[in-house]
Amino acid sequence: MAEASLESPQHRFDNRIEAEEKIEPKDWMPDGYRKNLIRQISQHAHSEVIGMQPEGNWLTRAPTLKRKCILLAKIQDEGGHGLYLYSAAETLGASREELVEALHTGHAKYASIFNYPTLTWADIGAIGWLVDGAAIVNQISLQSTSYGPYARAMVRICKEESFHQRQGYEIMVKLAEGNATQRAMAQDALDRWWWPSLMMFGPHDAESAHSAQSMRWKIKRQSNDDLRQKFVDQTVPQAEAIGLRIPDTKLVWNAARGHYDFGEIDWNEFNRVVSGNGLCNRQRLDHHKQAHEDGEWVRDALRAYAEKQA
Ligand code: BYC
């Protein structure tokens, strides 16, 4: 590969990355950097929006009015996160239409976790505690990603996710303090959501297709495995504090490493779900397509308004 000359845009870009300067929408950037960011940010946006569905399933069945209001606000926050992220992707030249099209045609992924069903109210606690908990670990790291609009979106998203994580944990605390049936519900939800939550961090570093380049470009700041370890280390004591058992017989504190050792993820299951064959993949996408179709009149009205103003 030809070396970038000292004055070349590539050289200036490399220096800015090296100096921890943010890259902004109008700055020169390599095509691969732009493409990789559009891929990651749009998939992140799709995850936020598709992620509204499993929780939305419990809006009409929340146990109290207060719980319902909290859940409604949380789900609306997730929709808002999707909007910040689509906007960040749009600053890179990708239109919202193309991004949604890529989701609908299966060309763009979204987090595998949202293809699992929410069977009981305890699942709402488990999602807030574990899924938002895992998302925060990942997103705190992304606050220092090299692309300015993505980094800034993460700051606000992390503040909101922090509230989401606490509301989920509080649901689990209440259930764990409850009667035997309620405790069993909490344990069952933890049993079902634990491993899919660990999968949120993606494949092992050695198997991760994008990590090496994304780390060089400082799009990713910590590796999939390092972030997963951080999540395990912070979550195990939270489970212990409320008397719940993490469903992993290999989980043990390793004093020499200063971290928990834990069992292996079922990568066959991960691959199955990511490739579209999880329990709810079809349902999630069909629902999104239907909602998109139902919203056509809103887009038409906005287009007509914009034309009138022009
Ligand atoms: N699920 O090379 P890798 C939320 C894909 S939502 C599905 O390691 P990368 C919330 C990966 O895309 C917040 N696919 O990729 C909302 C790639 O496929 P492509 C969700 C996965 O990008 C509502 C391939 O596998 N957070 O908080 O370097 C309610 C190879 O992987 C998954 C984000 O989206 C997966 N788990 O690293 C409640 C975080 N893992 O694109 C809560 C932003 C991997 O080549 N994203 N893949 O076809 C990231 O940080 C990174 O994209 C990842 C993967 C760490 C996920």
**φ, ψ for residue 254 (rounded to 5)?**
-110, 100
Q: Supply the pLDDT for residue 131.
A: 98
Per-residue confidence of the chain (310 residues) as pLDDT tens digits? 556 677 899 999 999 999 999 999 999 999 999 999 999 999 999 999 999 999 999 999 999 999 999 999 999 999 999 999 999 999 999 999 999 999 999 999 999 999 999 999 999 999 999 999 999 999 999 999 999 999 999 999 999 999 999 999 999 999 999 999 999 999 999 999 999 999 999 999 999 999 999 999 999 999 999 999 999 999 999 999 999 999 999 999 999 999 999 999 999 999 999 999 999 999 999 999 999 999 999 999 999 999 999 9
Backbone angles phi, psi at 147, to 5 degrees: -90, 120
Query: What's the 243 CA to ligand 1 centre distance in angstroms?
Result: 31
135 lines ligand 1 (CB under 6 A): yes
- CA-wise closest residue to 49 among 29, 76, 20: 76
Contact 79, 38 (CB under 8 A): no
> Across the chain, how many H-helices and E-strands are there?
14, 2
Axis crossing angle, helix 281-294 with helix 96-104, rounded to the nearest 10: 140
For ligand 1, the distance from its centroid to the CA atom of residue 135, given in whole angstroms, is 10
pLDDT of the residue at 284: 98
CA–CA distance, 220 with 203 (Å, rounded to integer): 14
Which of these, 115, 89, 111, lies nearest to 100 by C-alpha position? 89
- Give residue 111 CA to ligand 1 midpoint distance, Å: 5
Torsion from C-alpha of 83, 222, 163, 177, nearest 10 degrees:
140
- Rounded Cα gap, residues 2 and 114, in angstroms: 44
DSSP codes joined into one string, 191-210: HHHHHHHHHTT-S-GGG-TT
Nearest protein Cα to ligand 1, atom 50: 138
pLDDT score of 227: 98
- Distance in angstroms (rounded) separating the CA atoms of residues 25 and 94: 12
**Number of residues that make up the chain:** 310
The 3-state DSSP class for residue 147 equals: strand
Closest atom, ligand 1, to C-alpha of 55: 29
Q: Which atom of ligand 1 is nearest to the CA of 202?
A: 40
C-alpha 60, offset from chain centre:
24
CB 145 within 8 A of CB 153: no
Contact predicate 91/37, CB 8 Å? no
| Distance from residue 237's CA to the centre of ligand 1 (Å) | 26
- Residue 302 is given by DSSP the state H
Tokens of 75: 């789900």
Residue recorded with tokens 């996160």: 81
Do 104 and 288 contact (CB within 8 A), yes or no? Answer: yes
